[in-house]
A and B are shown apart, each in its own frame.
Chain A
């Protein structure tokens, strides 16, 4: 613990070292169960308050120099944010679509154009959702009574994000490291703690070696899953497969024979088999990408500076792999109920491996002058953007 001299005035001041610790408190299980109960009885309308309870708990476990963070967000603010997005974005679009369908019939080109526009808006505003959610969270995160802030333009981030999303499939994913770098540069550059800015500088180059490894592995796994899946289906059903499919499509006579029942059974087997193969592929993918993500996290941390200190995140492929595996298993075996614990594991991982090298002049950090948003995360809720 550093002790500061309260009489520090202007002039050269000795900086402080910063250190992150995750110190668990009791109570997360009680929060999880309470949230589960109220989410069930309110058809998940309680999710805004549930999220807030979890954040307040996890934030209070994160300590910087022995002083815990504080989350000051309210469930009510998230609820109002969601209501606003529903009222000004979703409801008008749905009503417009409905009116067009009634006027012009469901097959009219105008209906398709509006539907396409609807999905385009969701796609285009995704970055907006991410940025505004981050702004809300930072404004509700306090350390030593000082707020965080995000001071840039949500629109320019939104444009960048949309560009990144467009480029990724066009480049078979190879634009991802560069675009992630750009997005992170924008986000970190806009971040403040109190009056003090974060800085981000570097290049995307060091990301590409690991990206190539992960990309090749992902392609290999994808192809082998495809081939094994196909071979399994062929071994089980041989040429009957297509016969079964076409048989299903044409059987609509009221006399439903035993043969039809058999076909349905075989079809279900195929469906379950494919489901299993897809699940395996998904598992494999979520375990391959940590190879790259660990590198990205570490590199991004090393590019980030705050006052006279820079960050170091000791993220390794192996440890991130284990974290992800644990999280995935926890999610599967509790059908998502344990997600507060998954969030806790993730935050703890970051705290345990994050070090701050250099010194920060705490006396120079004044309360944030940035306006505090009154409600938050409506878009993020509507689009179901991930995160805590």
Chain B
């Protein structure tokens, strides 16, 4: 069978034109009353729907993009599909290949976008962020997660804290600006926030046996400040929100309230922790502060992990600063004598900063 009646629509008017179509190896030829024969090369043909026996088979051609041809003859349609296999639809090697390429491009774009959002943009924006923005952000975040907490500020304790900060600065002229605030809470933790704001929880000071332990933790947090880790993490959190709202649609809503979820912002990667540890080691070496204090403190924290009853709402350092054996082993003693951070009297005063 190589010819059959069919319905032809020329794409210029809605009028139906009864035609006869003729099939050869290279083309369909459409002819009818008042229509000069039209040739549709088989390679240009496109099926509107998958051919289903018993249902009219609809075709279009690149030759006349708006025109349509409807074939109601199953046998003829089957023969046509044999000669122009692209009409069959379903899974063909060609379509699978195209899907694979599409999937590869899609995966690559998702990968690129994720890299941009989670790695590149945070680093660039964090280092370009002006100090006034960093300070404003730091103040807002600090006030949002320390809401209801008492600031410990006994005058003598404050003086001891300033002395501790001064000791860390000794021989460290390149240290970034930072401010220390002690909060009265049962959690054993310390945070570095944007703008160099470092929050130390009172129970961390109580848990420490020597001022060197506290100084080590503070030096570690200064490492976060110097590397702008919290600023980067903030940009990362915002970018992730935007990515998710792009993926899932919706108006984007107001995700800004979620920015204050400090735990997501302050959960640093292992790399960030390692950088901060290295910075602390370098700083303590220059200031001749014994790094073994930090080492002991980390060991203590690791043991605390099993005993969760003393944890406050923010958890202990393990939840935000995962302490691993690797990190503990990386801390090396000084190769010379160290000098104390605080006098025993100052240390006793610092421990009473919340009274």
Q: Which residues of A come within 8 Å of B, CB atoms? A: 2-4, 6-8, 25-27, 42-45, 47, 60, 67-68, 70, 82-83, 86, 90-91, 93-94, 97-98, 101-103, 105-106, 115, 118, 122, 142-146, 193-194, 362-367, 381-384
* Complex Cα gap A290–B11 (Å): 39
List, in ascending order, chain A residues with CB within 8 A of B249's CB.
Answer: 44, 47, 82, 381-382, 384
Binds A, one of B32-40, B207-215, B272-280: B32-40
B254 at the interface (CB under 8 A from A): yes
Interface 1/0 per residue, B228-268 and A, CB below 8 Å: 00000000001000101111111110111000000000000
Binds A, one of B65-73, B171-179, B285-293: B65-73
Q: Are A7 and B34 also in contact (CB < 8 A) when A42-B247, A194-B14 are?
A: yes
Q: Is the CB of B11 within 8 A of A145?
A: yes
B56 at the interface (CB under 8 A from A): yes
What distance in Å separates the Cβ of A72 from its nearest Cβ neighbour in chain B? 9
Q: Is the CB of A6 within 8 A of B18?
A: yes
Q: Is the CB of A382 within 8 A of B250?
A: yes
* Complex Cα gap A31–B28 (Å): 31
B128 at the interface (CB under 8 A from A): no
B52 at the interface (CB under 8 A from A): yes
B16 at the interface (CB under 8 A from A): yes
List, in ascending order, chain B residues with CB within 8 A of A365's CB.
Answer: 13-14
What distance in Å separates the Cβ of A260 from its nearest Cβ neighbour in chain B? 17
Q: Is the CB of A4 within 8 A of B16?
A: yes
Q: Is the CB of A144 within 8 A of B16?
A: yes
What distance in Å separates the Cβ of B66 from its nearest Cβ neighbour in chain A? 5
What distance in Å separates the Cβ of B345 from its nearest Cβ neighbour in chain A? 34
* Selected contact of B15 from candidates A42, A115, A362, CB within 8 Å: A362
* Complex Cα gap A308–B156 (Å): 95
List, in ascending order, chain A residues with CB within 8 A of B35's CB.
Answer: 6
List, in ascending order, chain A residues with CB within 8 A of B49's CB.
Answer: 25, 60, 68
Chain B, residue nearest A121 (CB): B251
* Complex Cα gap A67–B56 (Å): 9
What distance in Å separates the Cβ of A255 from its nearest Cβ neighbour in chain B? 13
Within 8 A of A (CB), among B85-140: 133, 136-137, 140
List, in ascending order, chain B residues with CB within 8 A of A366's CB.
Answer: 12-14
* Complex Cα gap A91–B243 (Å): 10
List, in ascending order, chain B residues with CB within 8 A of A83's CB.
Answer: 246
List, in ascending order, chain B residues with CB within 8 A of A102's CB.
Answer: 133, 136-137, 140
Q: Is the CB of B252 within 8 A of A94?
A: yes
B55 at the interface (CB under 8 A from A): yes
Q: Is the CB of A25 within 8 A of B15?
A: no
B220 at the interface (CB under 8 A from A): no
Q: Is the CB of A384 within 8 A of B256?
A: no
Interface 1/0 per residue, B43-69 and A, CB below 8 Å: 000001110100110100000001110
List, in ascending order, chain B residues with CB within 8 A of A142's CB.
Answer: 68
A–B complex contacts, Cβ < 8 Å, 14 sampled: A3-B16, A6-B33, A68-B58, A82-B249, A91-B242, A94-B242, A94-B256, A101-B140, A145-B11, A145-B66, A146-B9, A194-B14, A367-B11, A382-B250
The B interface, classified by DSSP as helix, strand, loop or mixed, is: mixed
* Complex Cα gap A82–B9 (Å): 34
B17 at the interface (CB under 8 A from A): yes
Interface 1/0 per residue, B296-334 and A, CB below 8 Å: 000000000000000000000000000000000000000
What distance in Å separates the Cβ of B316 from its nearest Cβ neighbour in chain A? 17
B346 at the interface (CB under 8 A from A): no
* Complex Cα gap A325–B123 (Å): 54
Q: Are A43 and B13 also in contact (CB < 8 A) when A91-B242, A102-B136 are?
A: no
Q: Is the CB of A384 within 8 A of B18?
A: no
* Selected contact of A70 from candidates B48, B246, B254, CB within 8 Å: B48
Q: Give the A-B pair count, Cβ closer than 8 A.
A: 122
* Complex Cα gap A383–B252 (Å): 9
* Complex Cα gap A83–B49 (Å): 29
What distance in Å separates the Cβ of A78 from its nearest Cβ neighbour in chain B? 11
* Selected contact of B48 from candidates A25, A60, A90, A101, CB within 8 Å: A60
List, in ascending order, chain A residues with CB within 8 A of B50's CB.
Answer: 27
* Selected contact of A97 from candidates B34, B56, B250, B256, CB within 8 Å: B256
Q: Is the CB of A6 within 8 A of B15?
A: yes
Chain B, residue nearest A101 (CB): B256
Of A44, A94, A144, A365, the most chain B CB neighbours within 10 A belong to A144
Of A8, A27, A90, the most chain B CB neighbours within 10 A belong to A90
What distance in Å separates the Cβ of A31 from its nearest Cβ neighbour in chain B? 12
* Selected contact of B251 from candidates A98, A146, A193, A382, CB within 8 Å: A382
List, in ascending order, chain B residues with CB within 8 A of A47's CB.
Answer: 249
Q: Is the CB of A67 within 8 A of B70?
A: yes
* Complex Cα gap A279–B10 (Å): 53
List, in ascending order, chain A residues with CB within 8 A of B56's CB.
Answer: 68
* Complex Cα gap A274–B55 (Å): 52
Q: A83-B246, A364-B13 are in contact. List 10 more A-B contacts (CB 8 A).
A: A25-B52, A44-B249, A60-B48, A94-B242, A98-B238, A98-B256, A366-B12, A366-B13, A382-B251, A382-B252
Q: Is the CB of A86 within 8 A of B11?
A: no
List, in ascending order, chain B residues with CB within 8 A of A363's CB.
Answer: 13-15
List, in ascending order, chain B residues with CB within 8 A of A381's CB.
Answer: 249
Q: Is the CB of A26 within 8 A of B52?
A: yes
* Selected contact of A144 from candidates B14, B55, B137, B245, CB within 8 Å: B14
Chain A, residue nearest B69 (CB): A145
Chain A, residue nearest B241 (CB): A94
Q: Is the CB of A367 within 8 A of B12?
A: yes
List, in ascending order, chain A residues with CB within 8 A of B247's CB.
Answer: 42-45
What distance in Å separates the Cβ of A359 from its nearest Cβ neighbour in chain B? 13
Q: Is the CB of A6 within 8 A of B13?
A: no
What distance in Å separates the Cβ of B267 from its nearest Cβ neighbour in chain A? 21
List, in ascending order, chain B residues with CB within 8 A of A6's CB.
Answer: 15, 17-18, 32-35
Q: Are A90 and B137 also in contact (CB < 8 A) when A4-B15, A68-B58 are?
A: no
Chain B, residue nearest A144 (CB): B9
Chain A, residue nearest B56 (CB): A68
* Complex Cα gap A345–B44 (Å): 36
What distance in Å separates the Cβ of B39 from its nearest Cβ neighbour in chain A? 18
Q: Is the CB of A106 within 8 A of B140?
A: yes
What distance in Å separates the Cβ of A104 from its nearest Cβ neighbour in chain B? 9
Q: Is the CB of B33 within 8 A of A7?
A: yes
* Complex Cα gap A384–B252 (Å): 11
Of A94, A105, A122, A367, the most chain B CB neighbours within 10 A belong to A94
